[in-house]
Amino acid sequence: MAEANVNPTEEEFSYFCCQCKKGFGRARLPFILIASQETEFTCVICRITFASGFQVLNADFNTLPYRCEVCGMRVRTSTQLLHHSYHHSGDWPF
């Protein structure tokens, strides 16, 4: 009989502290709130360790390949990144 992977390994997830998760804005990633008294997680963005924060499947996280160099927010397309950059520069095209 085949065995199911009920508890995925840690390599299948990316972990985010609460502050870095805010950088995703309205990105519709399926973030899962996590907390532990025994395990410390490491944020993939700022590398701090934390006991409570968020996790997301790596497969879902990799669907946002474009990252803002100013605030770290991630988006799906280069057009979304360009539009987001107007918020930082104030140079709206109209």
Q: pLDDT tens across 23-62, in order?
A: 777 777 788 999 988 778 998 888 888 999 999 888 777 7
pLDDT for position 11 = 63
Given this model, what pLDDT does residue 33 score? Answer: 92
Tokens for 44, please give them: 């993939």
**pTM given for the model:** 0.59
At 87, list the tokens: 């918020």
Instruction: List Cα–Cα distances, 32 to 21, 22, 38, 79, in angstroms.
Output: 11, 14, 18, 28
Type of residue at 5: N
d(CA 59, CA 64): 10
Of 68 and 38, the one with more pLDDT: 68
